[in-house]
Structures are given as C-alpha cells and as structure tokens.
Amino acid sequence: MQEAGVNLVSLGIFAWSRLQPTADRFDFGWLDRVLDLLHEGGIGVDLATATASPPPWLARAHTEMLPVLADGVQLWPGARQHYCPSSIAYREAAAALVERIAERYGKHPALVMWHVGNEFGCHVPACYCDRSAAAFREWLKNRYQDLDALNAAWGTDFWSQRYSDWEEILPPRRTPTWPNPSQQLDFHRFCSDELLACYEQEHAILKRHTPEVPVTTNFMSFFKPLDYWKWAQREDVVSNDSYPDPGDPASPMKAAMAGDLMRSLKRGQPWLLMEQTPSRVNWREINLAKAPGQYRLWSYQALARGAGGVLCFQWRQSRAGAEKFHSAMVPHGPRETSPTWQEVVRLGTELKELSALQGTPVEAEVAILHAWDSWWALELPSKPSLAVRQVEQLESYYRPLWEANVAVDFAPPARDLSKYKLVLAPSLYLVSDEAVKNLVAYVEAGGVLVLSFFSGIVDPSDHIRLGGYPAPFRELLGLRVEDWLPLAAGQEIAVAAGGGAARADLWSELLSTQAATVLATFQAAPLYGKPAATKHPFGRGAAYYLATRLDPAAMAGFLRGVWTEAGVTPTLQTPGGVEAVRRGGKLFLLNHRPEAVDVVMAPGGDPVRLEPHGVALA
Amino acid sequence: MQEAGVNLVSLGIFAWSRLQPTADRFDFGWLDRVLDLLHEGGIGVDLATATASPPPWLARAHTEMLPVLADGVQLWPGARQHYCPSSIAYREAAAALVERIAERYGKHPALVMWHVGNEFGCHVPACYCDRSAAAFREWLKNRYQDLDALNAAWGTDFWSQRYSDWEEILPPRRTPTWPNPSQQLDFHRFCSDELLACYEQEHAILKRHTPEVPVTTNFMSFFKPLDYWKWAQREDVVSNDSYPDPGDPASPMKAAMAGDLMRSLKRGQPWLLMEQTPSRVNWREINLAKAPGQYRLWSYQALARGAGGVLCFQWRQSRAGAEKFHSAMVPHGPRETSPTWQEVVRLGTELKELSALQGTPVEAEVAILHAWDSWWALELPSKPSLAVRQVEQLESYYRPLWEANVAVDFAPPARDLSKYKLVLAPSLYLVSDEAVKNLVAYVEAGGVLVLSFFSGIVDPSDHIRLGGYPAPFRELLGLRVEDWLPLAAGQEIAVAAGGGAARADLWSELLSTQAATVLATFQAAPLYGKPAATKHPFGRGAAYYLATRLDPAAMAGFLRGVWTEAGVTPTLQTPGGVEAVRRGGKLFLLNHRPEAVDVVMAPGGDPVRLEPHGVALA
Amino acid sequence: MQEAGVNLVSLGIFAWSRLQPTADRFDFGWLDRVLDLLHEGGIGVDLATATASPPPWLARAHTEMLPVLADGVQLWPGARQHYCPSSIAYREAAAALVERIAERYGKHPALVMWHVGNEFGCHVPACYCDRSAAAFREWLKNRYQDLDALNAAWGTDFWSQRYSDWEEILPPRRTPTWPNPSQQLDFHRFCSDELLACYEQEHAILKRHTPEVPVTTNFMSFFKPLDYWKWAQREDVVSNDSYPDPGDPASPMKAAMAGDLMRSLKRGQPWLLMEQTPSRVNWREINLAKAPGQYRLWSYQALARGAGGVLCFQWRQSRAGAEKFHSAMVPHGPRETSPTWQEVVRLGTELKELSALQGTPVEAEVAILHAWDSWWALELPSKPSLAVRQVEQLESYYRPLWEANVAVDFAPPARDLSKYKLVLAPSLYLVSDEAVKNLVAYVEAGGVLVLSFFSGIVDPSDHIRLGGYPAPFRELLGLRVEDWLPLAAGQEIAVAAGGGAARADLWSELLSTQAATVLATFQAAPLYGKPAATKHPFGRGAAYYLATRLDPAAMAGFLRGVWTEAGVTPTLQTPGGVEAVRRGGKLFLLNHRPEAVDVVMAPGGDPVRLEPHGVALA
C-alpha cells in the first residue's frame, strides 16, 4: 500500500458474518489487528458499519426480513443486501452491531471516517412485503394526516380506488394494469426515505459515540431510487462510486456529469471518489478493460470536478466469490509485471503532488435543474411518450456545455439560483409551488432560464396543473402549449432557425405564442411554420423554451447562443475529446482520445501536447 | 356538451367506491344530480353497473377474490379489474350493487341503455386460483358429464395424464413444458364463459327491473379471450372500443375490419362505437396524435360500416390518475383554442345531419369465416409453425377486398351462408362437424369457397381429423395434403400462376390433387412444380384452395379472379388509400391519405375532391 | 413395422397413469398384449420404467412433490416431468412401479433392454423447494464433512456469507444479485447427482431382477445440466436423442459432434440413436421438414460415428396431445403416399444390409477435452466476458476437424490421453489437480496439446489458481497472461501469423512469453505486436496456446498446421459439405449438400457420385 501511495482504506464493508459469527458471539480480534497494522503504516481507515449484507444466521432466524418484489417473489440469502429496509429484525440487529463497532473503534487512531452500509438500494431499492406495507401506511399517515387528503392527493375517484380505511392501502404491487401514479410516486418517496431511515439509525449511533468523525455512505451517480439531494444533507461528506464503461464513447461526458452532481449535492463541498476500478469490472455482459492511461485520466477528471480524494474498489483481487473477476490494485498474478499495478503506483505518486488542490472550489456560471421526484413522476407509465427519459434529457443539455468546457452545477429547483447566469431545466415535469416561485423570481431578477418541453406539467401529487400547459410558466414564457405531438421512434422532422436547418426528433407540440418571440419553427405537417423554440424577456431576465429535441449540432448552436447572450464564459476552447476544467487555480487538460493531441492555450502560444488518454495541468 | 352535440353519455363505469364507500354504506346523491342535470339538458345516459373495478374495502375483506396468474403471481388492488371472474365474494357484491342501481335508476327518464362492466377481460382474461380451478371443474362436468369422456377429449393417455378423479383437474397453470392442448382449449372456453357469467348475472338483474331497456357491454374488436359470437347473443346492442394507432399505416384497414366484425356479430344490426379517442391515447410506448381530420374520418368510417352512434372516451381530461394523458373532448387547457375541441364540435354538428342513416343496413356479398375456438386452438404452442397467426391470416384475406372496396361480412363457420356469393376461410384450423356440413352444403348449392392451408385440421377437442389433411374437405377440394413444409422466417419462394410470377412465404405443403385443377405451382425444391393453388368445381359451386401465403399483389390478383368469377361487385374503384362504402343509399368516400385526392365517381363525370383525411358523402 | 424393418420398439415411456390408474390399482393387461404381439412379430422391446411423468393422482396426493423454480414459482401437473428429483413421495412411488414392471416383464422374451425415465432433466433440471434444500445440505455434508471446509470452498468471507449452521444453507434461489458462484457450481453438481440418484434407484431394482438385461436412459447430446461422463458409467448402453434443425446449416456438424460425444462417453462402445424425427419436430417456433434423403443421411451419419442402432420418435403420429404435430414413421394420412413413410421403409431395408458394422469401432487420433463442471463454472455470471460460451468454443475447434474429415473423440480432462496424437482444450476454465497432472504428463510423454485462452483459471471450487494465469499451465506453455482484454460485441481486430493476415474477435489478452515461441501477433492497440498464438516444446511433446478466437479460415489453417505436425491423418479430402468417416472397414461418404457432388477417392480414380443429401459406402 505504501508503494502505491495509499493513505485511506475502506474496511469491513461486508464483514458482518465475520464480526458476529452467530447471534450471540462477536469476533473483533482480526479487525483490531488490521486497524492497528494500517495505523502503524500511516494509513487511515474509512471504517464500515458492516451492515450492507446480513449474515445467514440472521436471515434464517427472521425470514420475514427477506425482501419481496412487486410480483411476490421473495429474495433469498446467498448474495448480498437481502433485507427489507423496513424490517424490524434487520434494523435491530444492525443497530446492535453498529453500537459495538462505534464503541470499539470510535477512539482508534486509524479511524478517519465512518462508512455506513454500501450502495444503499443498489439491488433492493424497494420491498413490497406486508411489513413494508405497514411502514408505507405509517409514512402516508405522516404525510397526509387524514384519509381524505390522501384520497384527494391520489385522485382515487378515478378507477374506483377511494380508500375507506388506512389498512386498505398497499404498496404498488403487481396489478392488472398500471397502479395509481400518485401511489407509485409516493412509494418512490417512501422507499428513498425508508432506506434513509436505515442510514440515519446508524448515523445517530455513530454521532453519539464520535460526534467529530465524518460520516458518509457511497452514492452511485445518477441513481434513480434515492433522492440524493435529501440524503446528502444527512452526510458529512458525499462519496460516489463511478464505473464508466470504457466501451461507451459517452463515458467521459457521463463521468463528468456525475462528478458535477456529486460536487453540487453539498453545494460545492469536496466529495470523495469512493470506488472505481483500476481496469475492468465484472458485472457487464462483456467487461472491457480501461485503455492505458484511462485510470489516471478519469481519476484526474474527478479531481478537476471537485473530488477531495480518489479510492479504488478493490485493494487485492479475491480468489473466490462473485467479484473475483473485478480488477483490483493488487492483481491475481505477480504485481511487478502488471500494467494495472504500474498505473496504480503512478497515480499514487502523482496524487501526493496535488495536495494544494485540497478544499479548493470549482466555480460554475450555469446550473442544470434536477429533481428526483420529477424524475420518478416523469418515468411512470402512461405518458404521451415513454421515450422521454430524464437522464437522456439531462445529457442532451449537459453535452454541449461539456464539449465547450462550460462549467456546470446541478441544483434542485427550489434552491437559490441567483449566483448563476444561466439555468437549464430539461423536462422538469413535476414542480412544486415553491420551485415555480423560485424560477420566476430568478428570471425576474435578471436570470436567464431555458425550459424544455414537458416541464411544469404536474404538481407534487402528479396532478395536472390546469389552465394550459405549462400552466405555472405560461406567463414567464409568454406562450401556451395547445397539444402534444410526440414523434414516433426513429421519426425525424425538420426545424428552421435563423436561416439554418436542423433536425428534431422525440417530441413536437403545438404552441400558441402570446408575448414570446419565435426563434425556430417546425417544417413538417401538421406543425408547418409553428414555433419550435421561443424567447421571452421577463422582468430583468429572459426565458427560453424549446419544444422539441434538436439534433446535437443544432442543440449546441442553440445553447451557445443562449449562454453567450447570458455572459457565460467557457473555460477554454479545445479540440474535440479534450476536456478543460479549472479548479483551485489549476487548469486541467484531459485528453479522452486514444491519440496524442496538441492544445493551444492562448493565441500564438506554444501548444501543450497531450499523450493518448493523457493529462496536463497548466 | 350541447355545444359539442352530445346526446348520450356513458356514466359511472368506475364509480363503485363512490357509490358504495364501505360495505354497508351507499351514496347515490351525486349520481342523482348528474343524471338529473343531463336529463334537463336533453342528454341521455348509458348507465354503467359500476362493477368493472371493485373498491378497496371489498378486496381487503376478501383477498381470495384477487386474481392469480398461471405462474402463481397474485394481482393486487391499486389499478382496476382486480377480480377473479369466478369469485363468489365479487359476484355477490356486484349483484347487490347492480340490484340497487337498477332499482334506483331503472325509471329515470335519462336512462337510455345499461352498460355492464367495462371491457370484460382486458387485463384479467383468466384466473388460475383455487376457486377458478373448482369452477373450471364444474364447467367441465357440465361439458363432459363423465370423466372417461373428458379423458378421451383431452387425449390423456399421452404423457401419463389420465385423470382418476375430477378433483385432480387443474387450470393450465405453469407446467414444466406445454400443458395438454385440449385442456388449454377448454380453459379458453371456460374463461370466456366465466366472464360471460359475470355479465349475465348483471344482465338478468337489469332485465328483471327494466325488460325494455337495452343492455350492452363494450367489446374490443378482435379480442382473443372472449368469444364475441356467443357474447353478442346475450346483448341487445353490440358496442365496441376502437383505438387504431395513428402511427400504423394499416390502421384504416384494421378499423374497417373491426367495424365489419361488430356489424356481423348481430347479423347486420347497427352497433355503437362506444369508445375512441379524440386525439391521443396514453397506453402505448409512444402515443401519436390523430392527424387533423382523422378523428372525423374514422368516425365516418364507423358509420359507413354500420355504426348507429359514435361516442368518445373521455368527456373531460382528468387531472389525476392513470389516464390523465388520454385525450378527451374537453382538454386540460382552454377548449376554445384546442384543435381537438374544434374537431369534436364539428363532428357533433355534422352527425345531426346524418340521422337518416339510423338503422340502415350494409350489404355484403362476401363473408370471411372466423371462430374463436379455432383461433384459440390455432395459436396454442407446438404447431408446424407458430408464425401462422389468426388475425394476420384474416387480414391477408381482408386487405385485398378492403383495398378494392368489396363489402365483407364476418361469419361463424356454422352460420347459414347462402346469401353470400363468396366465402373465405383463412386458416380455419378447427372445425366442428356442423361447420363442415355447412360449408360443403354451401358449395354444393352454388357457393364459392376459398379455403387456406391449415384449415379443417382438428375437431373441437383439438384432435386431428384423420385420413389425410384436410380430412373433412378433401372431397370438396379434390385434393390431399401429404405433408406440411413450413417456411423459415424471412424465407421466400417463387410461385408460378398463369404465366405470372409471385412470391410466397410462411408456409408450403405437398399436395396431391385428385379432382382439383392446379392454378399455381411452387417453383422451388423440394416442391418444384407442385400445386400451390387449386380449384375444384363441386355441386353447383366451386372450392378453391391456397397452400401458401402469396405476396400481397399476387394475393389481390388471386382473390380478384375468384370474386369476379363469383359475380361479386366492388362498390367503386378508387385511388389507393381512399375507402368507398355504401350504406343506406349513401356512398361514403373516406380519404385515409395525408394529401388531397380526386375521386372519379363515374366515367366522364366530374371528380370529387377529398381533402387530406377528408370525407365525402355521395 | 415389419414393412419398415423395425426390430426394436421403445415402449411405455409415459404409461404410468395407464399402468397404475389409481394409487392401489394396476393394469398391465394392455401392455401384456402389446409385448406379446411384438414378440410374435419378431420385434424386440426396449421397455420403459414409465416413471418419466407421474400420474395426476400422485401429484394431488403429494403436492409437495411438485418442482419449484428459483423464483418460487411452482410447476404443476398437466404436461410432464412435474416432479422434484429429491421428492420422497415421487421416489417411493417410482420404485414401487418399477418393482412391479421388472417383476412382470423381466422374463418376457420380447425384452431386449430397459429404458429408465426419459430425457432426465429436460424440463426440470433443478428444483429449489425446501425438500431440495434439505437434500442439497445432505449432499454438501457428504462432500465437505465439516462446515469450515464448506465455508472455505465457497469463499463465504466474501459478502458476509459465512455459515454458522448447516441449516442456514439454501439452494441458489432468487437473490438480490448473483449468488455465490461456488454455491451455484455445487448446486449444478448436486442437481446432476440428484437426478442420477433417481436413475440409480430404478437401475438397482432392474439389475436385481434381471442382471443380464442392459439398461439405458436417453441422453440429449451436449446437455448442460447433466454430467454425462458420470452418468454413462452407470449405463450399459449409451443412447441419445438427436434433433438437428434442418434449417440450421451447422446441423450436420453439430450432429457429428454429438455422435462423437456419445461414442466417447463409454470409450468407443457403440451407442444407440434412440430418438430422431423422420421429418419435422413440433417444438421449435417454426419446424422445417427434413429435405428428401436427409432422414437417411443423418441416420447413416450416426452409424458412421459409432451408433449400433437407429430408432425414431415416434411410431404412429398421435391424434391428440402436445406432440401430435411431431412427425412419425406412420403419418396421420395414408402412409402409402407419404414421402416420410417411403424414407422410413427405405432406411429399414438398407439397415439390414449393414449388420456387419455391428460392434465395430471408430478410431480417432485427436481428442477434444470437455468437462461438465468446467462448463457450469465457465457460464456462471460475473466473468470477464459472458460471450465466451462452452459449446461455441468446442464447435470452433471441432468444425475445422470435421470439415477436413479428421476423426475426433471427446475426453474428460483426467482420462488417459496417451493414445491420441493431438489433444485440444477449448476454454477449459476449471481444472482439477488431477487433470493438470494428466495434461502435463501427456505432453511430457510426447503428446501435442492446444490450449485456448481462459483455460486453467480456477480449481474445482471455482477459486482462482493464483500466481499468474493460467497458473497450472504456465510452465507447460512457457508464458504468462498479464491481463485479459475481452473484445466488445462485434469488435474485430487484426492478427498476423507467418505473413498471413487474420481477424480475431471475442477475446484478447496480454501475454508475456517466457520460453514460448510466438506464432502470431495482435495488430491493434493496445496489444500491437503482442503474441496471439504461441508454441512451446515441452518434454517430448509440445504445447500450443491460442489467446483469441480466430476467424474460421485462420482457425482451420492454424489447426491444420498443428495436426499435420502431430502426424494426424485426415480420412479423405472431400468437397465442402461432404463428410467422410471410416468405421469397420467401411468408408462412409455423406453429402450434406442439396445438390449432387462427385467425390474422388484416390488420385486418378473414378469419382463417386453422391445424390443430393445422398450417401455412399466405399
């Protein structure tokens, strides 16, 4: 580890059955030795609460703790994470274990951070068992107080769903056709909260023992089941697991986007890249290896986008078990000749030189809005078009900014946005009254907002905001949507904008502009000549609206026009595939291409040469 | 509603939980007010029995009423139609509700028609629970009387399936491989009958209270689970829900075919288009809007094909629930500017002018045979080729007639066919002795019959009719099929017919002609030169046989030859995409193309101009 | 039957419910008559134990005997094979029946052979019920004796899976993510053994009654669930069911490969082609008929590859049931005009002429290694690439030999290989210490071995063999694999070998050669110039290594070079699609092409003309 420059180790994440071999026996001796040894070597420990996977004896004693899917299928022990988040037996056993661990290691000098659970919800984001049903009802009572309020919020007059007693309410188990959408949406909220309650139970115990030791749990980038805005508030440090597919050309963009989200979760505070693979994962159908340099490149990318540290899963590649083909810092074979080990050592050495970056911020002039409840609601079935997917919509707005090296934050829709010159809202389908007020006020005060189609459609109960779409933003945008005309899979239509021609797909709609100016028009029946993009000056700012999905080049052109007008300055103009990010006074140049590239930093200046998948700091 | 020309409203279809909020409390006040209001406005009511979706309290009190799939998965409340059709609790509660409704509203002046349930079987066409198993056994006892008869009908000697006791018999639940086909076929019959028993229970109550008020339930076009020939006999009026996909170029043809089926179900009696969408549905992956004019066009098409009225689902687009994105006559936004509302008003206005059509018949000289038991049996697994699908086969015969504006009825195989000049039987796999006699007698008396491959293969128990295929029609056809040679997916072979060349796919077979004349031959090994189509004069008529699936142009040519010889007269020759139908002295011209078309009505006459998706009556 | 030359009939395979109509009543009268009649006609009987499908009364009395899938879904009666292999009720009832049958027919003069069960495991290779869980624990206790050994073998420290009590152990039921791989591997072993225990129970009863009558059960070629090496040891005669798809151009090769496996299972002893179809099966989506001559051709192919007899499923095509569309020797229609019947009679007649072949061996100089546990382990999830499939790997090595008419045996990796000039090991992922020793000794003693990538990776517990891949063969091969670089789906890279150019796909890897000679190199980054194939002289022999999948032509060239160097002699050089096999002094020429072909037997000699799908013996 010293050879590889390791200074922090996550420990004991799946150790429960070794720490507590039976219900009434604990064995901490081996863990004592590991912590002591690491401490002697000058290495800190991110110590896990070890509750991510309950031991076989617990599952056998309490089969009611096993999770159940929507179709009644029970999940059994034999892998990991086989617990119902609402299970009393699981929670009690987990609390008892964490109590012991906190007590024993809270004062250990190696302890740097607590690591609660592991990738909460990754395999079992929801449980539909009777115990979960009861917990869901408690959660609903808390939210709605009385049954009439719930009936109203869920629109139970439709399809004869009116409840006459709390006990009639169930999770959205397998039904003959789509379950009530508001019920589904609330169940999404409940599931995120119920796992958060598991986290918080452990968090409370740890804070009682060691109020000063930071607590984290590892996130999974844009992970739909958990509302990370809410979760991040309960963490001291945000940490993330990042496994971009080396075979996917969009991976550098996606990883950048995940990094920006992580940084934004706690408003710019540094985050940890908790897990990444040195080379290959094992869980895809085909697991491509990282190209030479790519491990280093993506680690630098995380630093550039605000990470305060970089870890790997895993230290030593295991001989047995379900992840033995997942790459590790120490391979199965001799490490001296292993290209992976060489990359690991190189990065470890270089990281020491970068300590000046610690704690420095990343500044952005643009924010993209993202909300988990809107994501959940948008992707429920029974929509005009299920081809509208939240993350794809985010990516279609993020990509042109990333390609142009425009720094971006993510923000929840009700957060104060006054520091941003430009705010983008791609398919922000569900909006609260508070978010509406916030966005309107932002523009009024001089902000520039771009809203896409199918935004502002429903309230937090997934009820239509009546009066003409998008009702809460009609005045802001100076228009009304009369009708939606989703496009068929593969269908493309022409769009004309300021003399230029573009293609559009996915969605079209019939707009009536009132006060808005038309920037682009559809060029195909039945919308020939009708607006496809508009602008509306409002207060001291302006609100743009985009009624379709433009082809990538046209989208880049559209957004470039908007950000230029809004006064946003890109970090640097670089060749395609080269990412430039500024942090802590350093300019990171990241070459995602498999060949060498020259980057000109200033007109007339000498070019900087980047090796294939190379990195430069200027 | 008056602005839109509405004169009939379907009401209360999913109102159970509002009408009976708990087991012992009823609340009809709100419904009283709605009926009174409609009546005051001069609008009639198609009043539902409200049993389509049981309320939560009933499902909670009787969890045994919830349906169970073949693999044991239980369906839960939260959507709609969550009842086992054989459930005693459901049936009793439904009967009690209908009794109350019939009593309260039977004499209401707004009442025009009763609407039982809703789209019976659409989500839960079959239940496999223990109660269903018991009901299935009762149904089988009724059909077979003794167990030996059942063992013989199911061929239980095969695979050691002989039953020694009625209690051993089960629905075809999930089995290691295909369940017994005769068991599956009888289960199809049972499921259709069991839902029909639900309908009939309500029908009997309604008729007891109001013998004079017509009763309907809404059908779903070619809906496989229910034998609509049988169901239609128990209705006073046939009604249908029709949701053609605007994105499917075959939709006009399919909608025409559905209309012809509906008209045929009660031998030409007018039917109701009970549900259609003014613009978009919400349940496809991507829901394309109807083009301007298409709502009107397809409504006229229904009238042309025998409808006595045209309704929409739904009046007002709901704010909440699973169908809030389904278009409605009254949209979420202001209706004045809504293109959909404008179309709704236009059609409402025009329909008043068409009252002369009421009750007029549609005359057809051609019948296509269709039988639900044959459909069920044909599509059971373990066949020479599962690529032979019933509706596709029907369509391949219907399409050329539709394109040539030849009027068509559908008929069950045992119905008197003497009024038809031509009868087509596409893959009529299962035939009863009665049907065989009927078809032979039809040809003998001068009729012309076209039979396709894989017709007349089994009896109503799905037992092979031995002696050489198709055993019951060999004499009629003057040939024998020695062997089937299904074609691989994508495989095409050449066919020669009277100097012309055609392609064929899906199926080929080795025919020995005895008395038949060869009309076309296969042109590929191993069937080179062997017959692909034959004709056999029989009695005063003729029987044609088609041993493969011809390409569409060749199929059109083949059928044109046959109908011309049979003396069938097309309504009018029109350009492609323009449909011509005669009803009640009116000639309907329906332009399914997105551009204007000129139609010449008589040689030398002035053309009639049809707008894009336009309609003309001549 | 006499007309068709039938001299052996398999009888009673699914007769249980007729032989034992209720728990306490037996009815053998009808079977007595059939056996007597066959005997009178000079036809022998392969009498089944009739236990393949339990009767309905047994399943009703013991619902706990019904199998349960990994996700808890229960399989019900109504088809066949609906028994849990560990079920006590099933085993007891089966034993009682077999006892009766053996007693009654053990001395019957028609009895030639016993036929136990039918296609063991074809629908239910595994059961996950509680009874199976208990049996699995017993099996594990037997294998591991103590729990620590099991914990070590399964690597239960990983993911907190350590067992503290045998009762905690379960079959690999549905889990949140992949179950423990060693648990899965042992469950594969258990399932094969548990079905074998069913077989052996019957085998023991039969041998007690008639020690001299041979016993068989019908295999299914390369059937993954059952370890046929182990099963074949318990049989007197290997028999196989072979249903190549006439629509698959690879069928002749696959059928040859299956024949070679069957012959190899008992080290060259003749086997029986127990089932094949005279024309069409009924269980594919689309069931193509055999071309004229193909039934005869594939029957001869079986004889050429060591079969001692050829049977068909089925004698008479049934009228009812799930297999009524499966071809039979006697068709539904008149048999006189049936092309299938004519082929059946022809073959029956010809077979009488071939009795001299009886018992003659097929000699091979090449062996391909194949092991069921390696197959199971290779295809468990969570691998570098799941696109590496065992049978495809075997085929990619078998095909060039088959095309060149090089005779091949299959062998388990620990069998004595000294009689072979060449041994091939395609992706032999799992190897025992014994197998390692055997292969090293084979080469040391002069043998030539070709090992492919991803061989020798794990031990029988699926634990990595540490020290650099492939650890047990590094010295033998003179190289080490530093890293795996699986290729993406559809990705092809260039390979250079001795001036020639080839393409490779599926897999690449970074090799360090120590003592090995490089035969071919990769021509693409990041492996440009690195070895793709190597040779290493070792002892008196040589070991080749192939680090990728070559395109078929290059693979053929590579293997041709190796077998030529190893002194292997092809049987005959034939045109493509013509197979030549030598057996018992006869040279079989088999034309798999649909057109006639001339084959030159010796330079300057007269060519032998083979009809389309024709056969010649020289």
According to the 3-state scheme, what is the secondary structure of C199-232? HHHHHHHHHHHCCCCCEECEECCCCCCCCHHHHH
Please give the pLDDT value at position A604: 87
Q: Which is nearest to B172 in space by CA: B376, B454, B390?
A: B376
- Residue of chain C whose Cα is closest to the Cα of A16: C160
Compute the nearest-CA separation of B90 from chain A (Å): 14
Closest CA to A340 of A352, A328, A324: A328
Six token digits for residue A26? 């604990």
Of C82, C247, C340, the CB nearest to B176: C82
Q: Write out pLDDT tens, residues C162-183.
A: 999 999 999 999 999 999 999 9
Mean pLDDT of C491-504: 92
Find the catalytic residue in B202, B275, B365, B579.
Answer: B275
| Residue A618 three-state SS | coil
The closest CB to that of A16, out of C155, C160, C175, belongs to C160
Q: How many Å is the maximal CA-CA distance in chain B? A: 77
CB contact under 8 A, C56 and B385: no
pLDDT of residue C132: 98
Tell me what pLDDT residue A46 has: 98
DSSP state of C63: G
B119 labelled catalytic? yes
CB contact under 8 A, B60 and A468: no
Model confidence at C534: pLDDT above 80: yes
Do residues A87 and A128 make contact, with C-beta atoms less than 8 angstroms apart? no
To the nearest whole Å, the CA of C462 is away from the closest chain A CA by: 7
For C26-72, the pLDDT digits (tens) are 999 999 999 999 999 999 999 999 999 999 999 999 999 999 999 99
The partner residues of C492 in beta bridges, in order of sequence, read C505
Is the pLDDT at C499 greater than 80? The verdict is no
Residue in A57, A73, A78 closest to C180 by CB: A78
By C-alpha distance, the chain C residue nearest A317 is C464
The alpha-carbon gap from B315 to the nearest alpha carbon of chain A, in Å, equals: 14
Task: Determine whether the interchain pair C160/A60 forms a contact, defined as Cβ–Cβ distance below 8 Å.
Answer: no
pLDDT-derived band of residue B498, with 50, 70 and 90 as boundaries? confident
Q: Which of A359, A375, A315 is nearest to A340 (CA)?
A: A315
Q: Given CA atoms B243, B246, B247, B250 in this order, what sign does their dihedral have?
A: positive
Average pLDDT over residues A289-293: 97
Q: Is B164 in Cβ contact with C79 (below 8 Å)?
A: no
Q: Which two tokens stand for residue C115?
A: 């036929």
Residue of B nearest to A463 (CA): B320
Nearest to A303 by CA among A590, A1, A62: A590
Tens of pLDDT, residues A591-617: 999 999 999 988 888 999 999 999 999
* Average pLDDT score over residue span A242-247: 98
CB-nearest to C160 from A14, A22, A287 is A14
Q: Place B499 in a pLDDT band, splitting at 50, 70 and 90.
A: confident
- pLDDT of the residue at A602: 85
For chain B, give the percent of residues with pLDDT over 90: 98
Q: How confident is the model over B26-36, as a mean pLDDT?
A: 98
Could A77 and C161 be called an inter-chain contact, meaning their C-beta atoms sit closer than 8 Å? yes
Q: Pick the residue of B245, B324, B613 with the most A CBs within 10 A to test the interface with A by mutation.
A: B324
Query: Could you tell me how many CB contacts below 8 A there are between chain A and chain C?
Result: 189
* Closest residue on chain B to A386 (Cα): B285
For range C581-610, the mean pLDDT = 94
User: Residue B500: pLDDT band by 50, 70, 90 thresholds?
Assistant: confident
pLDDT in tens, A385-397: 999 999 999 999 9
Name the band, by pLDDT with cuts 50, 70 and 90, for residue A163: very high
Alpha carbons C174 and B70: distance in angstroms, whole number: 19
CB contact under 8 A, C485 and A322: no
Mean per-residue pLDDT, B83-97: 98
For the cut 90, the answer to whether the pLDDT of residue C612 exceeds it is yes
pLDDT in the model for residue A127: 98
Please report all neighbours of A, defined by 3+ CB atom pairs within 8 A.
B, C
DSSP state of C606: P
ipTM confidence: 0.97
How far is C-alpha B164 from the chain's CA centre? Answer: 38
pLDDT confidence bin for C602, thresholds 50/70/90: confident
Which among C162, C168, C482 is the nearest to A338, CB-wise? Answer: C482
Task: Give chain B's mean pLDDT.
Answer: 97
Cα B409–chain centre separation: 13
* Torsion B192-B198-B199-B200 (CA) sign: positive
Helix then strand then coil, % of chain C, to nearest 5: 35, 20, 45
Mean per-residue pLDDT, A231-238: 98
Going through B506-585 in order, the beta strands assigned E by DSSP cover 509-513, 517-522, 531-538, 541-546, 549-550, 578-583
Tell me how far apart the alpha carbons of residues B118 and B52 are, in angstroms, rounded to a whole number: 5
Contact yes or no for C384 and A21 at CB 8 A: no
Return the residue in B128, B154, B161 with the most chain C beta carbons within 10 A, the one to mutate for interface testing: B161
Round to whole Å and give the CA distance between B374 and B250. Answer: 24
Asked whether the beta carbons of residue B14 and residue A183 sit closer than 8 angstroms, the reply is no
- pLDDT category, A215, cuts 50, 70, 90? very high
Closest Cα in chain A to B594: A525
Range of lowest pLDDT (A353-362, B319-328, B563-572, C548-557): A353-362
Counting Cα atoms < 13 Å in the Cβ hemisphere of B413 gives 28
Q: How confident is the model at residue A498 (pLDDT cuts 50, 70, 90)?
A: confident
pLDDT of residue B459 exceeding 90, the answer is yes
- Distance from C-alpha of B593 to C-alpha of C449, rounded to nearest angstrom: 69
**Which subunits count as partners of chain B given 3+ CB pairs below 8 Å?**
A, C
Taking alpha carbons only, the member of A447, A460, A479 closest to residue A546 is: A479
Chain C: nearest CA to A466, how far in angstroms?
A: 42
Q: Are A328 and A290 in contact (CB under 8 A)?
A: no
Burial zone of B573 (CB within 10 Å; 0-12 exposed, 13-18 middle, 19+ buried): exposed
Report the gap between the CA of A157 and the closest CA in chain B (Å): 7
DSSP-assigned letters across all residues of C50-61: --SS--HHHHHH
N- to C-terminal Cα distance for chain B?
29
**Mean pLDDT across chain A, nearest whole number?**
97
Instruction: Give the gap in angstroms from C-alpha C338 to the nearest C-alpha of chain A.
Output: 48
A482 is catalytic: no
Distance CA A19, CA B330 (A): 64
Residue contact B292–A180, C-beta within 8 A: no
Cα–Cα distance measured from residue B329 to residue B2, given in angstroms and rounded to the nearest whole number: 12
pTM of the entire structure?
Answer: 0.97
- For the record, the structure tokens of A154 come out as 């869920």
In this predicted structure, the answer to whether residue C403 has a pLDDT above a threshold of 80 is yes
Name the residue type at position B136.
F
Q: Which residues of B touch A466 (CB under 8 A)?
A: 319, 332-333
Q: Of C554, C559, C552, C518, whose CA–CA distance to C535 is shortest?
A: C518
Mean pLDDT of A439-453: 98
| Rounded distance between C-alpha atoms, residue B163 and residue B161, angstroms | 6
- The catalytically annotated residue of C275, C343, C365, C579 is C275
